[in-house]
Amino acid sequence: MKVSTKRLWPSHSSARRLNAVCLLMIGAAVLALLGVDFQRYPVDPWQELSRIGWGLLLPGWSEATTLIQALLQTVTFALLAVAVSTPLGLLLAMAFRWRLVRMLCAALRSVHELFWGLIFMQLFGISPLTGLLAIIVPFSGVFAKVFAEIFEQQSPLPARAAPKGASVFIRTLYTLIPQSWPALLSYTRYRFECALRSSAILGFIGLPTLGFHLETAFKQGQYSEAGALMWAFLLLIASIRWWLRPWLIVPYLIAAIWLLPDTMFSDGGSLWRFVSVDIWPAALLAGDWHGLLHWLSAMFSQQVWPGVVQTLLLTQIAVVLTGFIVLFTYPFASQALVGPWLRWPGRFVLLVLRCTPEMVLAFVLLLLFGPSGLPVVLALALHNGGLIAFLVANASDAAFRSGQARADDPRGITRYAYIETPRRLPALMAFLFYRWEVILRESAIMGILGVATLGFYIDSAFEEIRYDRAFLLIVVTALLN
């Protein structure tokens, strides 16, 4: 009898492709290590870490009014920005089938909120309008993309039943939005949490939100006050489900408008000069093409290329380290793998990591290790690892509670290695690739703290009032995404 020698599994199975992708990412990260400065500068991290630890354990704030005002300003910027960007994103999502709209949304969301803040600060100064626009502009692009994807997942049958000649707006309003309302509401809640983090870190460029007071406290070594700010921000985000109620949205918006300080508007002449003169190279405005080529050559060799390389290298290392952090931390928050005596502390740690903005983590780590790539990679990996691990643990819990677990399933590390992790790995990789774009933007913005990514050169250009350089570097940052 002829025995078949066919393989019992396809030679190009999805599992093999997934393993190949993982190995390729790890290999790229190992190569990236050769080009990044991870030197630890001569500081005593343990002494500083102990002082920060005591500040977190014994938080204190001398002026409660200032703390409350900082929290209210942070919530105000986030709430008003989401209230404006959500309908804008919804309108853009209705026209998302047009390529020009997709390109516009991609350009809006590819520039980090802090870069938008630096741009608008040149026009409106350190004002509420600067903070609001810095969040509204990129969030509108994000909302448009995600809302359009949610609409695509809905059934087309109700839209076909609409009267002939009904506009896209009417079809969306009466067929797509009712179907996708739970998903739209859930994502808007998530973006509000993101807006709170964005609002907080805008304080690092001078706006009166939580980040401003946090940076001041850390720079002055007032770690008890810094601890009070961080705990207050953590409680603010952790309690969203209790204080952000639908029937309270309108009163909140009225209060937020009332809490905004007086806005400083720039005159039209300054705005026109900025967009028509300041952001363009002098050689281009003068029609000096040889001088323009010389300027571009100098910019690309001295700033663009070094900034892009460092941004990409740090991003690749941070993405891979994020994956490892997820693999090692999600079990401690999963009901299927550990008991409540480990699960609740594990979930608390993940909550702290995902609620703390990357910029804040990087700022603290810079105090410990000095200005190198190490604080940036650790901050990005810890925050994103905590976020993805939280989602993976929730998926594991949902499967466990739904009765997928069998009575004879193994326990402990065997279940982790042979059941839970293989089941969760595809979703983990999907989350990781989704966060890759976010990590790339965050890697660029970390230059504001002194690390030589694109943000370092952008911040320097703004400080030197070289808006043409800043504009070119921001365009390059957007193209990377």
**Cα separation, 470 vs 444, whole angstroms:** 13
By C-alpha distance, which of 289, 375, 473, 448 is closest to 36? 375
Q: Are 255 and 104 in contact (CB under 8 A)?
A: no
Average pLDDT over residues 292-311: 94
Model confidence at 316: pLDDT above 70 = yes
Under the banding of pLDDT at 50, 70 and 90, the label for residue 252 is very high
More confident residue, 303 or 450: 303
Model confidence at 127: pLDDT above 50 = yes
Query: pLDDT at position 413, please?
Result: 85
Model confidence at 350: pLDDT above 90 = yes
Query: pLDDT at position 6, please?
Result: 46
Domain ranges of the chain: 30-42+280-480, 60-269
**Cα separation, 378 vs 45, whole angstroms:** 15
Composition of the chain by helix, strand, coil, percent to 5? 80, 0, 20
Model confidence at 371: pLDDT above 90 = no
Asked if domains 30-42+280-480 and 60-269 share a fold, the reply is: yes
**Cα separation, 368 vs 31, whole angstroms:** 26
Q: Per-residue pLDDT tens for 167-218?
A: 777 777 778 888 889 999 999 999 999 999 999 999 988 888 999 999 888 8
Which CATH architecture group holds 60-269? Answer: Orthogonal Bundle (1.10)
Model confidence at 407: pLDDT above 70 = no
30-42+280-480 is a CATH 1.10.15.40 domain: no
Query: pLDDT at position 11, please?
Result: 46
Query: pLDDT at position 39, please?
Result: 72
What's the burial of 100, exposed, middle or buried (CB within 10 Å: 0-12/13-18/19+)?
exposed
Average pLDDT over residues 253-270: 73
Structure tokens that stand for 142 in this block: 């994000």
Query: pLDDT at position 5, please?
Result: 45
By C-alpha distance, which of 205, 210, 69, 212 is closest to 124? 205
**Cα separation, 189 vs 197, whole angstroms:** 13
Q: Model's pTM, two decimal places?
A: 0.87
**Cα separation, 212 vs 202, whole angstroms:** 8
Query: pLDDT at position 47, please?
Result: 78
Q: Per-residue pLDDT tens for 2-23?
A: 444 444 444 456 778 888 888 9
Under the banding of pLDDT at 50, 70 and 90, the label for residue 146 is very high
